[in-house]
Structure 1
Amino acid sequence: MRITPCPPVGELTFPEIPEFQSSVLPSGAELHVLRREGADLCMLTIVVPGGAPEAGSPAVSALRSVLLREGTAAYSGERIADLLDYNGAWLKQSDNSHFTVVTVYCLSSRLDVILPLLRDIVFNPTFPESAFLTRREALAKSIEISHKDVDFRSKCLSDAMIMGSGHPMAVTDTAESIRAISRGEIIDFHNRITSPAHIRIILAGGVTPEIAAKVAETFSSISDAPSGSGLLNIVPFSPAPAGTYRSATLPGATQSAVNIVLPAVDRSHPHYLPLRLAVKALGGYFGSRLMTNIREEKGLTYGISASLLGMLDGAYIQISADTDNSSVGALVEEVRHEMEYLAENPPQGEELLRFRRAMGSNLASLLETPYSVADYLASMLISGIRPGYFARQVDILRGLTPDDIAAMARKYLRPELLSTAVAGDNLPASV
């Protein structure tokens, strides 16, 4: 039994997000540098144009990303692996909505060895035939499995509903379409989108002036790189009518995946950040309304979440959960109820205090290390977020009132606006 009183919980303080030293190199590439005195590790991220919408297929974009490290004009795949391993470096690649991101972590003292390799990976990959065939077949088999997964199928349906069935980001590959992709398609996609003039470089951690100068020199003049356009294929979302219900039956599925979507204002709108907090209060943290009611009280799911997703093409609200096949209708009805209840009875008192602390902790974690700050900058570049976004989040959170949450819920979280996608077995005809 505790005999001493609990220590008081103070309000979170938010330092300003550190400023990067930014410049444009002679090649046209942007360089953003964040130094941390005393750090031994550095992180170098390169944001390259080109994702699924630009490739015309999620699989083409994914294959381009994963094959970057399989061989270049100067390095074989085996040599790349050996160099990374010998120098204690870790490399990762990912393809996002409209960009591919390549990141390497290594000791600051070893970056000069890794830089020529990294430049070749980004600008001169050869996409070797044997590696291409192996990766293509692995991706095809992965998609075969995904098409039997209720979460994947439900997400495909909801993407088509909120983005538009013909939207480039709503394209769904099949195993057959993946196996029909040629190596030439990967090469063509890479060459027509990649150019030194359109990349963004982020360097963070133990960065000395000499290291920053070496990075600038490495990416300032790249005569052997492709001269792609860097143009992004941005298509505004075209949502299905409110109230749309689509389902996919997977015989034998033991549970159903439910995705509820609503259109939302984009990141440039003044309501975006207040709406984001209202969505978080609804289902964005463990103590949210949806978790408290649908998980804790009703036992309809192990977890349910709500998110506001802002992209270059548009924005939408998504509410996701898995539930028993027989509980789909009840779960959707409880979501509708909580949306209405949030507008009528927003968090206040102790609930509002807990919510603000949870959201404040999330924001504070972005500033924990120079590497997390660099990740945040990369996400800003990918999502088209303007400078000052972090400070605006802090200001809005500090001044958040119950009326603010209620106003956003009344305007945007209206049950009649939602559309629902479900994948499972023995599904209802409507919800």
Structure 2
Amino acid sequence: MTNEPMTELNRTLAPDFKAIDNITLIRPEHKTLGNGCNIYCFNSGDQELVRIEWVFNNLRFNPAKPLLNMAVNTMLTEGTNTLTAAQIADKIDFYGAFLQVDYGYENSQVTLYSLNKHLHQTLPVIADLLTNSVFPEKELETFKRNQQQKLQVSLQKNDIVARRDFNKAIYGNTIYGLGASFDNYKSLQRDDLAAHYKLQYQPSNCSIIIAGKVDATALALITDTFDKGWTNGPITADTTQPELQAAAERFYFTEKSDALQSAIRIGTPTINRNHPDFQALQVLNTVYGGYFGSRLMTNIREDKGYTYGIGSGLGSFKQGGSFFIATEVGADVCKAAVTEIEKELNILKTDLVPAEELSLVRNYMLGSLLGSLENVFSHADKFKSIYFAGLDYDYYDRYADTVKNITSDKLIELANQYFHFDEFYKVIVGKY
């Protein structure tokens, strides 16, 4: 132990930013099984643990039966020819594994976390789900009642109503614009679910993404389980989706006379991540409303005190994208908040973003990307984002390059090209 005096830390000075020079992503090994199923393997880490995802493209949206994709995926764990829902849960729990099903607009997936030494016990359960699910009538009726009750509660919330109305306006009668109704749930039939299941959950419509410590034994076991005995049906799954058709009406107001807060949703259809401008638009969005230090937060939360939170974002789907602003504000300041939202948007079209602010945004965006790569599962998630969009890893190289080098002049150009507030869709639920 020394008696040297400690250097006093000057807490009035912020630590220096350190530029992020390079971001390296783990890339998967790939193989295609004889039945057409694609396997992507991320082998990394020391723990004897793997995450396996079976990802299926959703079938083409059918407006006459709009909930089939969601209902089939959600009910996969409700029973097979040989196992009840309780038995499925017990088998997974007994081996310390974790099973979940997730539904998205374009994909449905089954995810298993399992210790390597128990894969020979847990994988057959997944194989049973993907080949022998039966959607028992009793469980289907319970599912319908539960979903209707959840919907009834949700429709009392202004922000959920605003989101439903906004999506319907900009995406039209597609899966992206669907706002499920009580009748939609009531009309679900077991035979429809079973037919949909057989068509969608085929190996040729599946990508298996494995991440963790994947040794040769584990990979061979996964390959054998989902190659032999898992066959395609006679009809190829149609996974195309209808074109988006935005509504002609651009203003939607649902009055609630007793509302203390009004929900605001404003935005427009725009480009998706396949467009060369998308990454630059992400920078502009971050400046405007994409992080806690954004202009919307600074003005409407910190300065005006109209809300606890406000933000903007970019949605990217296969059929297109959207730019949106979302918040809930005091009902008495709703009009004032909309005015400030427009004002901040127009400033981006006329005033250069100061160098200091742009530097802060750059460091935030690159730091967020780097921070999101904390383990091998995160690297697999980054792969999924580009794989299902039909992109390659150069997408992330271009992202980093754009964030590092974009200029304030380019941001003004983008704002004038993509942001036309008079043409935006505006949804208000509450008082206005």
Gaps of 5+ in 2: 1-6
Judging changes above 3 Å, is the alpha-carbon distance between structure 1 residues 276 and 163 closer, same or farther for their aligned structure 2 residues?
A: same
Q: Which residue of 2 aligns with 1:263?
A: 269
What one-letter code is carried by the residue in structure 2 that aligns with 1:130?
A: K
**Do the aligned partners of 1:72 and 1:126 also contact (CA within 8 Å) in 2?**
yes
Alignment of 1:341-360 (within 5 A): 341-360=347-366
Choose which of 301, 320, 326 in structure 2 pairs with 1:295. 301
Q: SS of the residue aligned with 1:335?
A: helix
Choose which of 397, 400, 406 in structure 2 pairs with 1:391. 397
Larger radius of gyration: 2
How many residues were matched structurally?
423
- Note the C-alpha offset of 1:15: 2.8
Judging changes above 3 Å, is the alpha-carbon distance between structure 1 residues 50 and 227 closer, same or farther for their aligned structure 2 residues?
A: farther
Alignment of 1:120-159 (within 5 A): 120-159=128-167
Choose which of 24, 30, 37 in structure 1 pairs with 2:32. 24
What one-letter code is carried by the residue in structure 1 that aligns with 2:87?
A: R
Distance in 2 (CA, whole Å) between partners of 1:266 and 1:7 is 36
Residues 294-325 of structure 1 show CA distances to partners (whole Å, capped at 9, x for unaligned) of 11111111111111111011111011011122
Distance in 1 (CA, whole Å) between partners of 2:153 and 2:231 is 40
- 1:311 aligned onto 2:317: yes
Q: Which residue of 2 aligns with 1:367?
A: 373
Q: Which moved more, 1:79-88 or 1:43-52?
A: 43-52
Q: Which residue of 1 aligns with 2:4?
A: none
Q: Which residue of 1 aligns with 2:229?
A: 222
**Do the aligned partners of 2:50 and 2:212 also contact (CA within 8 Å) in 1?**
yes
- Note the C-alpha offset of 1:221: 2.5
- Note the C-alpha offset of 1:218: 1.4
Distance in 1 (CA, whole Å) between partners of 2:52 and 2:39 is 10
- Note the C-alpha offset of 1:35: 0.5
**Do the aligned partners of 1:123 and 1:225 also contact (CA within 8 Å) in 2?**
no
Choose which of 50, 58, 65 in structure 2 pairs with 1:50. 58
**Do the aligned partners of 1:255 and 1:322 also contact (CA within 8 Å) in 2?**
yes
Alignment of 1:54-203 (within 5 A): 57=65, 59-164=67-172, 166-203=173-210
**Do the aligned partners of 1:140 and 1:176 also contact (CA within 8 Å) in 2?**
no
Distance in 2 (CA, whole Å) between partners of 1:108 and 1:250 is 54
Residues 6-37 of structure 1 show CA distances to partners (whole Å, capped at 9, x for unaligned) of 64331124332111001111010000001014
What one-letter code is carried by the residue in structure 2 that aligns with 1:357?
A: N
Judging changes above 3 Å, is the alpha-carbon distance between structure 1 residues 57 and 395 closer, same or farther for their aligned structure 2 residues?
A: farther
TM-score by length of structure 1 reads: 0.92
**Identity across matched positions, percent:** 25
- 1:326 aligned onto 2:332: yes
**Do the aligned partners of 1:53 and 1:97 also contact (CA within 8 Å) in 2?**
no
Distance in 2 (CA, whole Å) between partners of 1:97 and 1:357 is 31
- Note the C-alpha offset of 1:61: 2.6
Q: Which residue of 2 aligns with 1:204?
A: 211
Residues 128-153 of structure 1 show CA distances to partners (whole Å, capped at 9, x for unaligned) of 22221111110111111112221121
TM-score by length of structure 2 reads: 0.92
Residues 182-240 of structure 1 show CA distances to partners (whole Å, capped at 9, x for unaligned) of 22222122123221111000001111011112111111133466555322241222223
Judging changes above 3 Å, is the alpha-carbon distance between structure 1 residues 50 and 148 closer, same or farther for their aligned structure 2 residues?
A: same
What one-letter code is carried by the residue in structure 1 that aligns with 2:238?
A: L
What one-letter code is carried by the residue in structure 1 that aligns with 2:355?
A: G
Distance in 2 (CA, whole Å) between partners of 1:172 and 1:350 is 42
Q: SS of the residue aligned with 1:277?
A: helix
**Do the aligned partners of 2:59 and 2:240 also contact (CA within 8 Å) in 1?**
no
Distance in 2 (CA, whole Å) between partners of 1:331 and 1:51 is 40
Q: SS of the residue aligned with 2:75?
A: helix
Distance in 2 (CA, whole Å) between partners of 1:313 and 1:170 is 12
**Do the aligned partners of 1:305 and 1:320 also contact (CA within 8 Å) in 2?**
yes
Distance in 1 (CA, whole Å) between partners of 2:154 and 2:214 is 42
